[in-house]
Chain A
Amino acid sequence: MYRYDEFDEAFVRERVAQFSDQVARRLAGDLDEEQFKPLRLQNGVYLQLHAYMLRIAVPYGTLSSRQMRKLAFIARNYDKGYGHFTTRQNLQFNWPALKDVPEILGHLADVEMHAIQTSGNCIRNVTADHFAGVAADEVADPRPYAEILRQWSTIHPEFLFLPRKFKIAVTGADADRAAVRFHDIGLQVKRNEAGELGFAVWIGGGMGRTPMVGYQIRDFLPEADLLAYSEAIVRIYNLYGRRDNKYKARLKILIHEGGAETIAAEIEQEFNEIRYGVLRLPDDEIRRIETYFAAPDYPTRASESVPFKRARLADPAFDRWVGNNVSPHRAPGHAIVTVSLKPIGGVPGNATADQMDAVADIAERFSADEIRVSHEQNLVLPHVALEDVKAVYDALAAAGLATGNAGLVTDIIACPGLDYCALATARSIPVAERISERFGNPERQQEIGPLKIKISGCINACGHHHAGHIGILGLDRKGEEFYQITLGGSGDETASIGEIVGRGFSTDEVVDAVQQIVDTYIVHRESSEESFLAAYRRLGPAPFKEALYGTA
């Protein structure tokens, strides 16, 4: 893991002091709410429907046990005993008092954490593949690059008042687990024919009310050019992005209206001006940052474990959990464990303080002290020995965290929605809970297979509904919540935006509608090997429309 040195430590302490002073000046009336707003947002403080919300950065989703325990401590002492893991690998507390926020930031600084730039019209927390460094299919660990980008973007004096928010994601494998094509800048670490490291680069992807899949501006950007190229992109965006309408202010709109090739040419020209300047990354410095992310020394293990196999045979629930929540690891005899934060009928992404502590303990004992947060609102234990998997499962079960549904129909992404959010037009969480209950039977879920349902409570699309195989968007129609359904979206390497299937559904109807869609898929799929997404792409919307609305 990255560790702060004296420079980073001094930096984060100064930042806490700065924000404490800003809060004091706000309370004294020297700053009005309009002036204070971007300052608090750049420190993760939102004004929600009922209270302030604090969004804490988990850079590229990597946490140590010590950091997780601190989050549990904050949940217990400053909130209502729980926190909410988000689709950008961050953690939100929904009930802190503004006056306590500087103190909370001080506690975070004690464990090398902060809430900087988790909101506001600036470069946000940089996300990465939650299997980074351990995935069997990875070319290189994306986190050293994400860390370099995190540092460069932190209080960047030129880029704190951009037209709108700006999101960067990095992955290191062909299988895109970081949704890089839905970010303002998406990077995929790769090697060129000469074996040199660099990036495929996408720009201008995003969700929101105008969802767009990113435009691939580079097939291969040498790694030394990472910061110069990023600075060129953000500078062009800062200078030319629209500021007259917040809904047309993202980079995707600049590219859409200006023309991808025109904007790309501007970026390349700017890049050529600064390419060989101070932002060029020296190889030895990249390699030095990389050493922070070196894998633990795994003891040599056989690639198979007899006790693990026996446990699978003996316990069908464990066997099913392994099938869904355990992924291949690049070290023989090891596994990546996904800890589902999607209990049947529960709130997606929520964890209690006790659960956070339990995960911290399990990670300390069985996963080299390391935890990941996934953009699908789950946790990941990245370094588990196969023969420990059963013990991990038992410990998770004791904490109520052994739901074996990763990637299945009840592994739902949902934004906080109208239960918390001031922007929301409808509730998301209760819909997620009801869908989860409807499909809660484990055999039924297994029969349905991989299926991503994503729910947003407004058009801003924090629940990523555009990228859901089944997407649900909650809207308001004359004071009544109703839900629009999209089909066929995907956030992976085959990125696509879901298509609206037809008229929306009431709160009472929406769960039945989802079930009809699922039933229709089961009837039409070629075999159980054909996933929902594959079937939809083959069939198109017609059979689903017919099932939902009758023949046109």
Chain B
Amino acid sequence: MSDAQAQLPIWKDGSFGADAWVAVSAETELPADPAPILVPLAEFLAEAGRYTARDGDIGVLVGAGEDVHPLVPYLGDLRLIALEFPKFADGRNYSTARLLRERFGYAGELRATGDVLIDQIPLMRRCGIVSFAVKHEPTRRALLAHHSVEVRHYYQPVQSDAEVPAGTRPWARLPAARLPAA
């Protein structure tokens, strides 16, 4: 864990990294270079061609409570979907994350943004979220220190390569890494 990481916003795969995604909107001129752009869901749906015609990766920002069904035809075009948690107590995007992963088969990066805290990150992971825009300082410190006191026995099956069935109960799961290699 380096001091350099301390300034970087995105937690993914065990370290902080830069946020390459440029936030754009209907009023914004799109960057000329092929920089990846992040478009709010409603604006993307209103003018999808404007964004898909351009060279460069596209991400979509989904607010809490926004319906992602209309996004389904475009999921193959998207490399990032950022799910907003305006307050950590607003749990709507946990369901949206699972729908995107398990129902619609979205395979790109799924990111949590907004009020992202250390105690909710394990839950977000189980719902398919893999990267986290973290502002909360104690959470950043805990992540950098790999301080994580999680409950790693699960009573619900979620569709994830990271978990494997455990015992006779068809709904029980354990983290895959815990089992000896086959």
Chain A residues engaging chain B, CB cutoff 8 angstroms: 5, 7-8, 10-11, 14-15, 17-18, 20-22, 25, 30-31, 35, 38-39, 121, 151-162, 227, 235, 238-239, 243, 273, 278-279, 281-282, 285, 288
B151 touches A161 (CB 8 A): no
User: Is A151's CB under 8 angstroms from B171's CB?
Assistant: yes
Can you list 10 A-B pairs, Cβ within 8 angstroms, ordered by A? A18-B150, A21-B149, A25-B138, A30-B142, A151-B169, A157-B127, A161-B89, A162-B91, A227-B171, A285-B168
Q: Which residues of A contact B90 (CB under 8 A)?
A: 161, 243
In angstroms, Cα B13 to Cα A526, docked, is 75
In whole Å, how far is A267's beta carbon from the nearest beta carbon of chain B? 13
With beta carbons under 8 angstroms apart, the residue of A35, A151, A160, A288 that contacts B117 is: A35
Interface residue from B98, B123, B149, B159 paired with A17 (Cβ < 8 Å): B149
Chain A contacts for B171, CB-based, 8 A? 151-152, 227, 278-279
Alpha-carbon distance A278/B95, docked complex (angstroms): 17
**Chain A at the B interface: mostly helix, strand, loop or mixed?**
helix
Interface of chain B, main secondary structure = loop
What are the residues of chain B within 8 A of A155 when measuring CB–CB? 123, 151, 154-155
The 8 closest A-B pairs by CB, nearest first: A161-B91, A30-B138, A157-B126, A11-B153, A21-B149, A157-B123, A278-B157, A151-B155
Are the CB atoms of A238 and B89 closer together than 8 Å? no
User: Does B71 make an interface contact (CB < 8 A)?
Assistant: no
Enumerate chain A residues within 8 angstroms of B153, measured Cβ to Cβ. 7-8, 10-11, 14
Closest residue of B by beta carbon distance from A280: B170
Chain A neighbourhood of B127, CB < 8 A: 157-158
Q: Is the CB of B172 within 8 A of A7?
A: yes
Contact A14 B150 (CB under 8 A): yes
Chain B 99-119 per-residue mask, 1 if CB under 8 angstroms from chain A, else 0:
000010000000000000101
Known: A11-B153, A35-B117, A158-B95. A273 touches B103 (CB 8 A): yes
Task: Name the one of B92, B150, B167 contacting A238, with C-beta atoms under 8 angstroms.
Answer: B92
**B78 CB within 8 Å of chain A:** no
Distance from B119 Cβ to chain A, minimum over Cβ atoms (Å): 6
Q: Flag if B94 contacts A157 (CB, 8 Å).
A: yes
With a CB–CB cut-off of 8 A, which chain B residues contact A227? 171
Q: Tell me which residues across on chain B come within 8 A of A282, comparing CB atoms.
A: 170
Closest Cβ neighbor of B152 among chain A residues: A14
Q: Tell me, yes or no, whether B131 is within 8 Å of chain A by CB.
A: no
Closest chain A residue, CB of each to CB of B98? A158
B88 near A: Cβ within 8 Å? yes
| A541 to B: closest C-beta gap in Å | 42
The distance in angstroms between the C-alpha atoms of A251 and B109, with both chains bound, is: 32
Q: Quick check: A152 and B156 within 8 Å, CB to CB?
A: yes
Residue of B at shortest CB range from A19?
B149
CA distance A152 to B172 in the complex (A): 9
Instruction: Indicate if the CB atoms of B89 and A121 lie closer than 8 Å.
Output: yes
A157 partner residues in chain B, CB cutoff 8 A: 94, 122-124, 126-127, 154, 156, 158
Q: Is the Cβ of B89 less than 8 Å from the Cβ of A5?
A: no
Decide if B130 is an interface residue (CB 8 Å cutoff).
Answer: no
How distant is B168 from chain A, measured CB to nearest CB, in Å? Answer: 7
State how many angstroms separate the Cβ of B41 from the closest Cβ of chain A.
Answer: 15
Instruction: Tell which of A5, A15, A30 touches B167, judged by Cβ atoms closer than 8 Å.
Output: A5
Question: Within the complex, what minimum Cβ distance (angstroms) separates B148 from chain A?
Answer: 9
Q: Closest CB of chain A to B92's CB: distance in Å?
A: 6
Q: Which residues of A contact B96 (CB under 8 A)?
A: 239
Residue B166 lies at the interface, judged by CB distance under 8 Å to chain A: yes
Whether B88 lies near A161 (C-beta < 8 A) is yes
Contact of B91 among A7, A10, A160, A281 (CB under 8 A): A160
B108 → chain A, closest Cβ, in Å?
20
Complex Cα–Cα for A238 and B65 (A): 9
CA distance A10 to B153 in the complex (A): 7
Asked if residues B94 and A158 are in contact (CB atoms below 8 Å), the reply is: yes
Taking a contact as CB atoms under 8 Å apart, the answer to whether B167 and A22 are in contact is no
The complex places the Cα of A153 from the Cα of B155 at a distance, in Å, of 8
A21 CA to B155 CA, complexed, in Å? 22
0/1 per residue, B124-149, Cβ < 8 Å to A? Answer: 10110000000000100110000001
CB distance from B118 to the nearest CB of A (A): 8
- Closest beta carbon of chain B to A251's beta carbon, Å: 14
Which residues 43-70 of B have a CB within 8 angstroms of A?
65
Task: List 8 other contacts, CB 8 Å, given A121-B89, A157-B126, A157-B156.
Answer: A35-B88, A156-B156, A157-B123, A158-B94, A158-B123, A160-B94, A273-B103, A285-B169
